């Protein structure tokens, strides 16, 4: 678990050292300073979340230090340490953004209590900002675009399900088709739209972290659990939980999710008490869950609970009438975001976009358009701004991989296939700027699956090297 960072600023070295020892023992990452000037140098590199600041310091006083700290980062929780005669100055410090204050001399437990209150306040602020981000994300980016018959069918399902806000939904489709947009649209068109929309990718975290993120934990549930934490299920009470890549959820968590779907109850880690939560579950997957059930990787009973109402998101190649419409939409959005003049596509660009297979679906189209807008200079987006895989231009010889170069008589097929797999992974990482999450999505696998493949290929290289 990530440790909270605390900076202690006081010219009383004994007090400063004592506080540092105590908070290090509590699991904090601690630094100290004996003057305001020294503290300012530390703030920029250490980036503390909490500051214990003495009001009276040599040179720069506490109020001046407070103002500089708040100017650098207005989310830092600053607790002023003051003498009893400094009431007026203390009030001034609170007005200037201090979180709280404590009078000297003080009891250690009182300081710890104030620090814990500051941490809880920071966590609430983070949660609030996350919810605001989700709201902005929906209204700005999550509007579905398309006029094809396939998308008209999806719109109809969204409207129906938005008014049936207790039904569990499973959204299926290839990676990049916009399954998350459908989930957002259902939530924000439903009666739950004033409550949180919580989204998590089940493939993005290891099992232990995924469980704590979903269900929360009690203080002392594990070694680093210094404070209780609410999970997404509890935070989404009254709203919607979107579980993306549900097919990657570990089996133990599948059992816990099934219990929630049946009883609307769950136990946080380390708790013996059930919590009752009213939250709608929307799940999504690009995986063949029926095959996963046969392989013992997905629970059949959970599948039937999730698959009450399935929605199928068609791949972009099945809705070619929407390609140009989507491209124009993305061009308009990116031009506005980047402060550029409006642009249009040249006729030859429209032609190649229509004939491209779009294995990465809408996400691939969006990336192609974003790159074109970034590098465009005039009013028109021409073929010169399209990548080779769109225009059909042949890459250079060094970028090609040919059968006669990877296999010769006497070489095993496993070694040859590993070389092909390595080339595909390197090419995907190159196209995604070494972003493993995006590369995995492009190849239709999870990030964890990608890491496992890379580790296996690296192991093979060592064995043969």
Which pLDDT belongs to residue 331?
94
Instruction: Answer yes or no: are the C-beta atoms of 314 and 339 closer than 8 Å.
Output: no
The crossing angle, in degrees rounded to 10, of helices 13-25 and 108-141 is 60
pLDDT in tens, 184-224: 999 988 899 888 999 999 988 888 889 889 998 888 777 77
277 and 295 fall within a common domain: yes
Q: Is residue 133 part of a domain?
A: no
The domain boundary residue, chosen from 286, 314, 342: 314
CATH number (domain holding residue 11): 3.40.50.2300
262 and 146 fall within a common domain: yes
**Separation between Cα atoms, residue 327 and residue 411, nearest integer Å:** 46
169-172 and 197-201 as β-strands: parallel, antiparallel, unpaired?
unpaired
* Tally of domains in the chain: 4
What's this model's pTM, rounded to 2 decimal places?
Answer: 0.57
418 and 457 fall within a common domain: yes
CATH number (domain holding residue 310): 3.40.50.300
The domain boundary residue, chosen from 365, 391, 417: 391
**Separation between Cα atoms, residue 394 and residue 400, nearest integer Å:** 9
pLDDT in tens, 364-403: 999 999 999 999 988 899 999 999 888 875 444 444 455 5
Task: Using DSSP, state whether 340 is helix, strand or coil.
Answer: coil
Helices and strands (H and E) in the chain: how many: 20, 14
289 and 376 fall within a common domain: no
325 and 304 fall within a common domain: no
Q: Is residue 292 part of a domain?
A: yes
Instruction: Give every CB contact of residue 208 below 8 A, 6+ residues apart in sequence.
Output: none
**Separation between Cα atoms, residue 249 and residue 457, nearest integer Å:** 25
278 and 146 fall within a common domain: yes
Which pLDDT belongs to residue 293?
95
Q: Is residue 329 part of a domain?
A: yes
102 and 17 fall within a common domain: yes
End-to-end CA distance of the chain: 37
CATH number (domain holding residue 385): 1.10.8.60
The domain boundary residue, chosen from 391, 406, 421: 391
225-250 mean pLDDT: 90
Indicate if the pLDDT at residue 173 is higher than 50: yes
User: Within 13 Å and on the Cβ side, how many CA atoms surround 317?
Assistant: 9
42 and 161 fall within a common domain: no
386 and 424 fall within a common domain: no
157 and 298 fall within a common domain: yes
pLDDT in tens, 112-126: 999 999 988 888 777
Which tokens sit at 60? 């720069």
User: Structural domain of residue 367, as residue ranges?
Assistant: 317-391
Indicate if the pLDDT at residue 421 is higher than 50: yes
């Amino acid at each position: 678990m990530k440790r909270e960072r605390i900076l202690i600023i006081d010219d009383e070295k004994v007090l400063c050292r004592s506080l540092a020892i105590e908070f290090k023992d509590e699991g904090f990452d601690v630094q100290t300073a004996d003057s305001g000037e020294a503290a300012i140098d530390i703030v920029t590199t250490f980036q503390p979340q909490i500051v214990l600041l003495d009001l009276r310091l040599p040179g720069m006083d506490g109020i001046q230090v407070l103002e500089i700290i708040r100017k650098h980062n207005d989310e830092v929780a600053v607790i002023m340490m003051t003498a009893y005669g400094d009431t007026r100055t203390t009030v001034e410090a609170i007005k200037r953004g201090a979180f709280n204050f404590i009078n000297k001399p003080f009891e250690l437990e009182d300081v710890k209590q104030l620090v814990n209150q500051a941490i809880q306040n920071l966590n609430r602020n983070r949660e609030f900002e996350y919810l605001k981000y989700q709201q902005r994300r929906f209204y700005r980016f999550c509007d579905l675009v398309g006029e094809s018959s396939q998308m008209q069918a999806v719109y109809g399902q969204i409207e129906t399900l938005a008014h049936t806000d207790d039904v569990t939904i499973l959204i299926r489709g290839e990676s990049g088709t916009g399954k998350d947009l459908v989930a957002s649209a259902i939530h924000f068109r439903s009666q739950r739209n004033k409550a949180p929309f919580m989204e998590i990718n089940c493939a993005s975290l290891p099992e232990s972290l995924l469980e704590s993120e979903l269900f929360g934990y009690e203080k002392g549930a594990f070694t680093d659990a210094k404070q209780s934490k609410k999970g997404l299920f509890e935070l989404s009470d009254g709203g919607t939980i979107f579980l993306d890549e549900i097919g990657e959820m570990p089996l133990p968590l599948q059992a816990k999710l099934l219990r929630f779907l049946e009883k609307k109850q769950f136990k946080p880690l380390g708790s013996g008490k059930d919590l009752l939560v009213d939250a709608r579950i929307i799940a999504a997957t690009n995986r063949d869950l029926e095959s996963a059930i046969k392989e013992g990787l997905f629970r059949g009973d959970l599948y039937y609970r999730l698959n009450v109402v399935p929605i199928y998101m068609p791949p972009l190649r099945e809705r070619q009438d929407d390609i140009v419409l989507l491209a124009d939409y993305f061009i308009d959005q990116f031009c506005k975001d980047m402060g550029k003049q409006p642009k249009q596509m040249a006729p030859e660009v429209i032609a190649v976009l229509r004939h491209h297979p779009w294995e990465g679906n809408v996400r691939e189209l969006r990336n192609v358009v974003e790159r074109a807008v970034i590098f465009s200079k005039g009013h028109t987006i021409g073929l010169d701004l399209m990548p080779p895989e769109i225009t059909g231009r042949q890459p250079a010889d060094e970028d090609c991989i040919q059968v006669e170069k990877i296999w010769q008589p006497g070489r095993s097929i496993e070694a040859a296939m590993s070389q092909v797999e390595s080339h595909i992974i390197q090419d995907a990482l190159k196209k995604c700027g070494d972003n493993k999450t995006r590369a995995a999505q492009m190849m239709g696998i999870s990030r964890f699956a990608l890491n496992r493949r890379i580790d296996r290929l690296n192991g093979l290289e060592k064995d043969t090297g």
